[in-house]
Structure 1
Amino acid sequence: MNLTTTAPQILDLGGAWNLTWTAGPDDAPTYATAGAPIPATVPGQVHTDLLAAGLLEDPDVGLREADQMWIGHSQWTYSRRFEWNGDLSGDRIELVADGLDTFATVRLNGHEIAVTADQHIGYRWNVAHLLVSGENLLDITFGSAWDAAHECEAKLGELPRPYDEPYPYVRKSACNFGWDWGPHYVTAGIWQPIRLEAWSRARIDSIRPDVVLEAGAARVSVSVGVEHQGPTSGLSVDAVLTAPDGTESARASVPADGSDVVLGLDVADPQLWWPVGLGGQPLYGLSVEVRDEHGTVSSAERRIGLRTVVVEEKPDAVGTTWALVVNGRRVRVRGYNWIPDDPFIAEVTEERLGQRLDQAVDGGANLLRVWGGGYFSTEEFMAGCDERGLMVWHDFLFACAAYDESAAMIDAVTTEAEQAVARLSSHPSLVIWCGGNECVWGMYDWGWSEILDGRPYGAAFYTEVLPGVLGRLDPSRPYVPNSPWSGSLDKHPNDRDSGPVHIWEVWNNVDFVHYRDVDPPFVSEMGWCAPPAWSTLQRVVTDGELVPGNPQVAHHMRAAEGMEKLARGLAPYFGEPEAAEDWHYLTQMVQARSQVAGAEWLRTRERCAGVVIWQLNDCWPVLSWSAVDGDGIEKPVWYALRRSFAERLLAIVPVTAGGTDDPTGPDGLEVVVVNDGLRDWTADVVVRRLGLDGAEIAREQVSLTAAADGTARSLLPAALVAPSEREFLVADAGGFRSTWFFRPDAALAPVETRFSARAVIEEGALRVTVEAQSLLRDLCLFADRLADRLGVSAPDLTVDDMMLTLLPGESAVFTVSRRDGAPLDVQADLSAAELFPVIRCIGDGAALVPAYSDESAGDIAR
């Protein structure tokens, strides 16, 4: 809860426990059914304990996922003994469990304390009367959430969902039951901290600051949730706000005569928290105490940011705009969707989490959307976003399904929301709550009505329950009932003219140029699939080549008809690559090109206020939509989007939406500069029409000035834009470059790629210089494939750039280094023979580009 309490008041019960299998399926292994205890670590989950004990082989590898299914159908008991000698004193001594996954029976010294049924709720139980002097026994038995969900389904009837798994029936992370990017690991365990906590008279339960800015000052209203034990007379709540430099900014004190106490703190000349790129991220210290005549009864601290945020919606000629406004300034969102970074949360270390957040910021993002099929964010995640200026869009925990609206479910969701809002609302990075993911859309388009036959699908959660919680606990923070959302349950939620939209018909059905068919106000999901890094996939494919027909490769593709869609995406550009290395490289290129095409088109639209790519991260080694794979290695799409998500963007795009079968668009092409920065940007742009041999045919020079949060554009003359299969455009402006090819690769005249490469070790890094003797397109260096030669594990290596276009005579230097900053311990420079397999560009392999038929721009001769 990010609440600091004095050490004598807490007895941490984490650490070493015992784990025992107590019931389950007939195919459970002998080591489980024998009933011998297994060493366990808390916080943790059954899978991680079995892995640590050497009793379970890595289920990510090969086809081993099938070997662990019995775990999710089993019953498990965690137990530990601890000494109690009255160390903690207080009117109440509580057992506090911040997270139990999921159906748990809790016993202390043989006495049943509680039965739980929600992974997302924290629990507190008074256990003073059950503690004994000396040794005490705490045990927690977890039933099968999988079996419980099936039992609930039998009682309630079918609830529509995208997978034949019963996740909507239980309040547990939906993706534990498998997803189109994730494995099927049905977890159980004490997944969050557990402790004994003692207190008297009063305890601070929550701190919820609300900020109003006006006339150069800030008013911070601090709501303090206080739990009382006994009379409240003589109690006060004191709050002190400390500036980022440590000096006191404001203080206030009020009587602690209720369960929700509000204090007002006035700050002159506040230092505002801003999203990354728009200012700093100063954090104020907020200390709160409950006091009586003898001193401090309870204390807690938070770090908060002073800022305001609203969603601005305005009618326009098309529909309604939708934009986030922070501190009065529209913020054009460049973001990624965030999924759980591992199926087992205990495996996500603070170092690993920091690396992912840095990858988001370094990749140009200013927002992460926490998707609703996982779990509520940890304090470490939110604090990391606060410090980096990463805005957070946070879903409540509903995803792609209909949900039961029974009284019990409403009670559970209400408690989840109350706890999550109370815990997270002090974080300035949290800029918007969302009711859930694609749950309203499903009711419109996925045949739910026939299945439900009049039963509710969960709309009450999104329009009544969750808004009610936010109205009480977090009233000033924006809320959107679902993603996508068009403003009303009566309007199609994915209407392209209003509100946040999802664009999935491109990946599912058509070429990525069709991203340019739409002009929405905000995009909260769009993406394209591709393999992870070569080393990541090779690590888990133990037999055969890395080709789509390999059963182990196919096992690590979870998208519906995923291999077929990859092939469809390749066809107009590269045909059907036969070699594994070519298939791997070229599918990654299509992913990168697709997201650049979509992101740059949307960023150059005046009405589009945000693009959130699906997705930043992966939770295992999978072919997915991620920019960073399950081993933490950036895919080429990450590098490509880093340029497309830069504060300043230079792009060549069609003038208007639609007509994408015409490579120049229905109204020609324009060069656009986009400026998300704080100052005006004047770009002197040179646009050249070049032959594939690099020879200049025509040029145009234009000076464009884009105001802060603005764009500027210029129509390209006809002499530059007549389509040709032997020519292309390149625009340059002060180090920014954009290219436009009039035909897909398969339609271009063949180009023989020629380049030289040399490498040296300098200052502990490998510097590789590539010199182009011909046009080099989508030039990449794959550092992970140098891991053995450099004596470093593949995930520990990184390269500074990829996805470059070099003209004949140009050169580029790639720097390969260790992520941890340590020098590479390599005694000799690399040879050309070692370099060429890790340097790729379009057309460098045999028969990568098939012959092109002039009969139709979409036909490929085979």
Structure 2
Amino acid sequence: MPDAVSLERARTDPRIVDLAAVPWRVRLLATHLGPGTLPPGPTVHAAAAAGVAATVPGSVHTDLMAAGLLPDPFMDDHADTVRWVGESDWEYATTVDLAPTAVEHARRAELVLEGLATLATVRLNGTEVASTANAHRAWHLDVTDLLRAGANDLTVTFASAARAMREADDGALPYDWAYAYNRVRVMACSVGWDWAPTLVTAGLWRAARLETWSGVRLRAHVATRLSADLTEGILVVDVVLDGPVVASGTVQVSLGDHVWQRDVDGAARLELAVADPAPWWPRGYGDPVRHDVVVRLVGTGQELHRRVGFRHVTLDTTPDAWGRSCTLVVNGRAVFARGANWVPDDLLLSRMTPARYAARVAQAVQAEMTMLRVWGGGTYEDEAFYEACDEAGLLVWQDFAFACAAYPEDESFAGEVAAEAREQVRRLVPHPCVVVWNGSNESLLGWADWGWPDRVGTRAWGEGYFRGILPDIVAREDPGTPYVPSSPFSTTPGVGPNVDGEGSAHLWDQWNLLDHTTYRDHVPRFAAELGYQAPPTWRTLTGALSLDPRRLTPTAPALAGRQKQSGGMAHLVRRLDGHVPDPDALVDDLDDWLWATQLNQADALRTAAEHLRGHWPRTAGCLVWQLNDAWPGISWSLIDHDGRPKPALYAVQRAYAPRLVTLQPRDGATAAVLVNDTDTAWDARVLVQRVHVTDGPVAATVLDVPVGPRAVAQRHVPPDVALPHARREEVLVADALDDPACAGASVGSGAPTPRARRAVAALCREDGVRWPRALSRTRVVPTTNGVDVEITADVLIADVTILADRVHPDARVADALHTLLPGESVTVHVALPQAPAAATRRALAGPPVLRTRNDLWHR
């Protein structure tokens, strides 16, 4: 028995063994290869069966790569050649040495495994302590009676999730991609998607630890509520005191100047009133205030720290003249959600770091976003993601992990779903950024539009989760946050999903079938998905291929391997029809193909975002698909897997500016449509010019457009300005004269480019504009951290962009897509990690680094 001193130490200091700090090994147990899967070579098989050093958190893929037994699955076609990894069984093993005093101290012991992917059997000292089947849960396993002094053998055996999915598929419940991800609680996109390869893995992918104590251990879960008038806050603290027997103690809770003390016997829910708490506001509405909460067990050194925010959220679905609204209301303020969908930033999740999350969130903020939607085919992200969003004031729409499939509702699967949902809601409820819970991605749409009833028949298919289990759990665990059953969805019974009149909508016909100009045919209440594809940046694309870039063409099989949408390579070219001359000829030149498709993505998203924002308050959200990328592929992302922005990120940044000037077709004519997403009225003066592509402005007018706070206003452009004399040689240009970059501008003044708020509209079909060859004077000036590239236009030059990665992998620019009238100038700063060589300075002065829209007319 431990002595009194060690017992007192245990009360004040529960002990934690971080299992990342002990040596692990992983070994191959067996392969179960399906049709078409290539086996490992004999040398690799033998080495893997003998075992290699492993890392926790980690995965089989990362461990085998570190051992030199596996090529990088993101290079070339290696994702296909390493599929055998997911179709095999693996064992992770370690030994934890415990001193006799440590074991004597362990009146209670718990093995905590925060993430197991996916079908795991856990054994400690030869005794099975758990059999798991869910990668979306954490496991807290009581191992009190199994610890011993000296060596403690811990093994985690992973059966092949790919094999289990393959064998569970009876054809009754629809899904897509390589394996039946709807039958096992894996990360859905690990089985492949139209923007990612198949990469089923295994491993302890989140933290693992052994916790021991002999006295009382404090656990606490914190949440907040806020009244609709923002005057009454409630701090909810669920306290559990763990001990060898029922434990009791005094718990002290502090929040700022507020201090409460309560006696707790075993467990208690404390609901503590906080008068007039400073609320957490989303970006653009106020400060995202958070409060430090400390929960202490009096008489011990145990204390838990948490940061919380107080906010009130509803989803307004009131009937109106257009159907039913779908507007998020935060702290009583109706919000237009400007944002994007978030997918896993790496298919091998254990490689994600807080710094990587922070970088992506910072890029979303740079792009003027106010919301990210965590899509249901991925995972519930790490705390670091939600912390970054809390801090930035970014709203989060959180899907439950269901996507594009029908799901079984048998007892064991339903039990996993309920346990997973309870855990994740309780984990995320302290984060004020999480403002919507969504039951599934496109599952209700699948039932309504994809022919599922014919296959499913009378079987349960997951609707019981989306309309029953999940909303019930949200109502109990997070009653202050709205829930919707799916995206897209409709509020009114009997109205199908994906209609403009209510709920959320996914606008995919534009990419799959039509053209991006047809975004203007829709005025949804909330656009939760819309997107256009483009390749990644040149450096990211060529870095993922062994082929010499000089031999790479758009028709190369190696490039096609980066494309995971069936027919996607053809779509990239066909969606250029009507926008650039002779799209088919682009397949002969990689540089022009990259630039044309990237520019078309930028145009498409700019068109959609400006159109939808111009219809506020009828439309209350635009979430483009997708912010980021899970691997270096050709996809709909704004930011590629290496973290480099595509030109579309800058287009979205402009289209999401709090104050926006656009030129839109309205009522058969052209209108200047102004959006003011701020709390201050905007007495805008808009200079609208008809500009000849070589001669400059030929007609102009100034429109006075007062725009109220959080409002939209429009003025039609007079016919003498809007109607061209030479429609192929003229374009309309609109500038806000209050823009600081436009100071002193007047009609035809040749003022510096008003970069923040300039709109450009063609007066004929876009590929019919006779853009002149880009004639400009360029000067490259070294600075302390890079260079300034000064560009002066001699003719009208559209969408001037510096593709900085072409000169250095770490080069960055803060903005792009500038349109210059004759005589105008712009200076683009290129940040570089080292002083540029003369060759670098020369490269910055022209293609393929310095690009314009005009280039595509003079190939």
TM-score higher than 0.5 here?
Answer: yes
| Cα distance per residue 1:762-807 (max 9 Å; x no partner) | 11211111111111112111100001xxxxxx1x221122111111
Q: Give yes or no for the alignment of 1:262 onto 2:266.
A: no
Q: Are 1:613 and 2:613 matched, yes or no?
A: no
Matches within 5 A, 1:462-477: 462-477=466-481
SS in 1 for 2:576: helix
Equivalent residue for 1:798, pick from 776, 792, 812: 812
Residues 758, 831 of structure 1: 8 Å contact kept: no
Q: What secondary structure, in the 3-state scheme, does the structure 1 residue paired with 2:323 have?
A: coil
Partner Cα separation in structure 1 for residue 408 and residue 371 of structure 2: 31
Q: Which residue of 2 aligns with 1:659?
A: none
Quick check: 1:779 aligned with 2:806? no
Tell me the SS of whatever aligns to 1:59: coil
1:678 Cα offset (Å) = 2.2
In structure 2, C-alpha distance between the alignment counterparts of 1:555 and 1:94, rounded to whole Å = 46
> 1:672 deviation in Å?
1.6
Relative distance call for 1:834 and 1:769 in structure 2 (3 A) is closer
Distance 2:384 2:423 in 1: 17
Q: Could you list the per-position Cα deviations for residues 262-289 of structure 1 after superposition, in whole angstroms to 9, with x for gaps in the alignment?
A: 3213234x32211112211221011223
How big is each residue's C-alpha offset from its partner over 1:273-307, in whole Å with a ceiling of 9 and x where there is no partner? 1111221122101122355xxx2495422100122
Q: Note the C-alpha offset of 1:542.
A: 2.4
Determine which of 59, 68, 83 is the counterpart of 2:82.
68
Give the 3 Å change call, closer, same or farther, for CA 319–258 of structure 1 in structure 2. Answer: farther
Q: Counterpart in 2 of 1:857?
A: none
Whether 2:706 is the aligned partner of 1:700: answer no
Q: 1:257 to 1:472 in 2, by over 3 A?
A: farther
User: What residue is the counterpart of 1:138 in the other structure?
Assistant: 154
User: Secondary structure of 1:843's match?
Assistant: helix
Separation of aligned partners in 1, 2:138 and 2:394: 27
**Could you tell me which residue of structure 1 aligns to residue 730 of structure 2?**
727
Secondary structure in structure 2 of the residue aligned to 1:836: coil
Deviation of 1:110 (Å): 1.4
| Cα separation, partners in 2 of 1:774 and 1:704, compared to 1, 3 Å | same
Aligned to 1:571: 577
Q: Which amino acid aligns with 2:284?
A: G
Is 1:23 aligned to residue 30 of structure 2? yes
Give ranges in structure 1 of 5+ residues lacking alignment.
243-247, 656-665, 788-793, 849-862
Distance in structure 2 (CA, Å) of the matches to 1:139 and 1:680: 64
Question: Which stretch shows the higher mean deviation, 427-436 or 488-497?
Answer: 488-497
Q: Structure 1 319/139 Cα, relative in aligned 2: closer, same or farther at 3 Å? A: same
Deviations 1:411-447 (A, max 9, x none): 0010001110111100111111110100100001111
Q: Corresponding residue for 1:87? A: 102
Q: 2:542 matched to 1:534?
A: no
CA–CA separation in structure 2 for the residues paired with 1:170 and 1:298: 38
Question: In structure 2, how many angstroms separate the alpha carbons of the residues matched to 1:688 and 1:146?
Answer: 60
Once the two structures are superposed, residues 566-620 of structure 1 have per-residue CA deviations (whole angstroms, 9 ceiling, x without a partner) of 1111121222223111111000010000000000000010311111010100011
SS in 2 for 1:224: strand
Q: Distance in 2 between matches of 1:265 and 1:256?
A: 18
Q: Give the Cα–Cα distance (whole angstroms) in 1 for the partners of residues 314 and 623 of structure 2.
A: 18
Give the Cα separation in 2 of the matches to 1:182 and 1:555: 10
Equivalent positions of 1:748-787 (< 5 A) are 748-787=769-808
* Separation (CA, whole Å) in 1 of partners of 2:124 and 2:438: 38
Structure-2 separation of matches of 1:205 and 1:284 = 19
One-letter identity of the residue aligned with 2:116: L
1:101-154 per-position Cα deviation (integer Å, ceiling 9, x unaligned): 101111111111111111111111111211111111111111100011122224
Structure 2 contact 228–312 (Cα < 8 Å) conserved:
no
My pick for the range that moved more, 695-704 or 464-473, is 695-704
Residue aligning to 1:314: 318
- Residue 220 of structure 1 corresponds to 234
**Number of residue pairs matched by the alignment:** 811
State the SS of the aligned residue for 1:75. strand
Partner of 1:583: 593
- Find the aligned partners of 1:345 and 1:67 in 2 and give their Cα distance: 20
- The CA deviation at 1:6 is 7.3
Q: Is the 2:283–2:392 Cα contact (8 Å) retained in structure 1?
A: yes
The more displaced of 451-460 and 543-552 is 543-552
What does residue 415 of structure 1 align with? 419
Q: Deviations over 1:336-387 (max 9, x none)?
A: 1000000112211222211111000011111110001111121111111111
- Corresponding letter in the other structure for 1:778: D
1:385, 1:608 → 2: CA distance? 24
Corresponding residue for 1:159?
Answer: 173
Aligned to 1:602: 612
Provide the rounded CA distance (Å) in 2 between the counterparts of 1:231 and 1:327: 44
C-alpha separation in 1, matches of 2:251 and 2:160: 44
Letter aligned with residue 45 of structure 2:
A
Distance 1:587 1:393 in 2: 29
1:149 matches 2:165: yes
User: In the alignment, which residue of structure 2 is the partner of 1:276?
Assistant: 283
Q: Tell me the distance in 1 between the aligned counterparts of 2:349 and 2:493.
A: 35
Q: Secondary structure at the match of 2:760?
A: strand
Which residues of structure 2 form unaligned runs of 5+? 1-10, 34-38, 740-753
SS at match of 1:835: coil
Conserved 8 A contact 1:273-1:280? yes
> Bigger shift: 189-198 or 571-580?
571-580
Opposite residue 102 of structure 2, the aligned amino acid is D
> What do residues 12-59 of structure 1 show as CA deviations (whole Å, max 9, x unaligned)?
111431111111147233333352220111000010111111111112
Which of 825, 836, 843 is the aligned partner of 2:846? 836
Identify the residue that residue 550 of structure 1 maps to in structure 2: 556
Which secondary structure does the structure 2 equivalent of 1:252 belong to?
A: strand
Alignment-derived partner of residue 811 in structure 1 = 825
Q: Distance in 1 between matches of 2:777 and 2:153?
A: 69
Give the % identical residues: 37
TM-score under structure 1 length normalisation: 0.91
Alignment match, 1:623? 634
119-128 or 363-372, which deviates more: 119-128
Give the deviation of 1:169 after TM superposition: 0.6
Instruction: Give the structure-2-normalised TM-score.
Output: 0.91
Q: What is aligned with 1:32?
A: 45
- The answer (yes or no) to whether the contact 2:691–2:733 under 8 Å persists in 1 is yes
> By how many angstroms is 1:834 displaced?
5.6
**Alpha-carbon contact 1:757-1:835 (below 8 Å) kept:** yes
Distance 1:33 1:828 in 2: 52
**Matches of 2:509 and 2:388, distance apart in 1:** 34
How far does residue 493 in structure 1 lie from its aligned partner after superposition?
1.1
One-letter amino acid of the structure 2 residue matched with residue 585 of structure 1? W
> Are the equivalent residues in 2 in contact too, given 1:757–1:832 (CA < 8 A)?
no
Aligned to 1:646: 657
Q: How has the CA–CA distance of structure 1 residues 831 and 797 changed in structure 2, closer, same or farther, with 3 Å as cutoff? A: closer
Secondary structure of 1:565's counterpart equals helix
